[in-house]
Amino acid sequence: MERVKFTKKSIEALINKGVAVWCSDSEIKELCFQTTSKGGQFFKLIKKFEGKKVTVSLGSFESMTVEKARTAALDNLELMRKGVNPNTQKAAKKARRLSSFTFADLFMVYKADFNVRIKAGERRPKSLEDAESIFKLHTNPLFKKKDVRELTNDEARKIIADLKTAKTPAVSNKCLTQIKSIFNFAKKEGLISDNHFAVAKKFAEQPRERVLTADEETRLLVALDDEPEIYKDIVLIALMTGQRKNCVLSMQWEEVDPQQRIWAIPASKAKSKKGLVVPLIPEAMQILQRRSSQAEQGEKFVFPNKRSKLGYVTEKTGQGSFWRRVTKRAGLYSDNKAQRLTFHDLRRSTATRMARAGIELAIIQKALGHSSIAITQRTYAHHDLSQVRAGLEHIRNEPPATIDILKEQLKALTPEQRNKLLEGF
């Protein structure tokens, strides 16, 4: 960024260029000036704070002089030195001025901070999409128009009770996680004085164990034959790699190395926030090579969709989705959510096949990109134990010897045989 000594004359010269300009002050390097193609003329402060870049809007050239901009910059730098983020302080001041500060208002502040963390590489865009969906469908209705600054412990307990009665344990836990996260953020930033959800515990939930049987997998593949090739390819790549739906759908050609036959998933997409390298088996490479030869020049995505805002196929698995069509055609759809086949079950099925083939959990963990082997054990280890469990269950078919039978057997032994038996103990 160009350094310029800010004066009224130098700022006017930048404006007269008639193009978008970014430059910083030679006296206070964090103080920047921006002009936009639409005529905007803004002073801003840009500085790293707690490991991430923070941009603070100070005002426009029309409303403040260079001297005032420098004073504002120094004031904000002092706040940062004291460990205060000027942007969240602004939000807190705005919240205190509001006659009512609802959960929706709180979420907007939380979302702004979330976006900053996405730009810093600390959070994934997909996580924000999920958070917005949970907020809209589940958490926001719980709070109605209640001022969160006036929330009591009793009201918080009622919200948790409403969650438990109205939602499944899995959905309830996602909601509770979001609520606790938002209120922790709000307390840290001084938006509220107490977090009444801090000690709330998650609900007990039964882990989903749905996996494809050999017959179901055959039916699924047959059902895919009636779909456009792109959808069949998506499902096959998911089965052959064991990766999450969003990673498969957003797969980019720059992530695929055909020479080494690997797929490098960047940390920005991975749930663990760590990059993941996935080996591609020959059948997967054949699909990708075919798709590459058919792709348009300059196409970015492996599974493109020009009608999608994101540029690639998106799949919400709802009414009218290709996944709903395929699973219905294969007889794998059910009105009971616990019984129907989900896209994520493909990932679980791939991991289960690996476990049943005797692949070590550490290797399965690496293939799936789990941050801890404990996650792999908790989710898939029960499949490793199926044969052991069957052997143990066989024991109950054998009638146990009674004490009376043992006594009779001991009486039948000669003294020499009895002494020899006791020597073994």
For every residue of 18-80, DSSP letters joined together read -S-EEEEESSSTTEEEEE-TTS-EEEEEEEEETTEEEEEEEEETTT--HHHHHHHHHHHHHHH
For residue 8, which phi and psi values (nearest 5 degrees)? -60, -40
User: Taking a C-beta distance cutoff of 8 angstroms, is the pair 39, 12 a contact?
Assistant: no
Same fold, 2-84 and 214-386: no
Distance CA 362, CA 258 (A): 26
pLDDT at residue 251, as a whole number: 94
Query: Could you give the CA distance from residue 36 to residue 17 in angstroms, rounded to a whole number?
Result: 11
Q: Where are the domains of the chain?
A: 2-84, 97-188, 214-386
User: Among residues 201, 199, 189, 202, which one has the least CA distance to residue 148?
Assistant: 189
Q: What's the CA gap between 211 and 348, in Å, rounded?
A: 6
The reported pLDDT for the residue numbered 383 is: 47
277 CB-near residues (< 8 Å, 6+ apart): 262, 263, 264, 265
- pTM across the whole model: 0.51
214-386 carries CATH number 2.40.320.10: no
Structure confidence at residue 398 (pLDDT): 44
Cβ pair 230, 252 in contact under 8 A: no
CB 290 within 8 A of CB 244: no
Q: Residue written as tokens 């066989």?
A: 394
Quick one: tokens of 278? 């996935």
The whole-number pLDDT of residue 265 equals 86
CA-based radius of gyration for the chain: 31
pLDDT at 90: 75
8-state DSSP, 203: P
CATH of span 2-84: 3.30.160.390
Q: Is 266 exposed, middle or buried (0-12, 13-18, 19+ CB in 10 A)?
A: middle
E strands, 272-407, are 276-279
For β-strands 2-4 and 276-279, DSSP reports them as unpaired
Q: What is the pLDDT of residue 144?
A: 87
Residue-level pLDDT, tens digit, the chain, 425 residues: 788 899 999 988 888 887 788 899 989 999 999 888 777 899 999 998 877 788 898 989 888 999 999 999 999 998 888 887 888 777 766 666 666 789 998 998 898 888 877 777 778 788 888 899 999 999 999 998 889 988 999 999 999 988 888 888 888 999 999 999 999 998 888 888 889 998 888 877 666 777 788 888 899 999 999 999 999 999 999 988 888 888 999 999 999 999 999 888 888 787 766 778 888 889 999 999 999 999 999 999 999 998 888 899 987 767 778 999 999 999 999 888 778 888 888 888 877 777 666 665 566 666 666 555 455 555 554 444 444 344 434 433 444 444 555 556 666 766 676 665 555 44
- Residue 387 confidence (pLDDT): 43
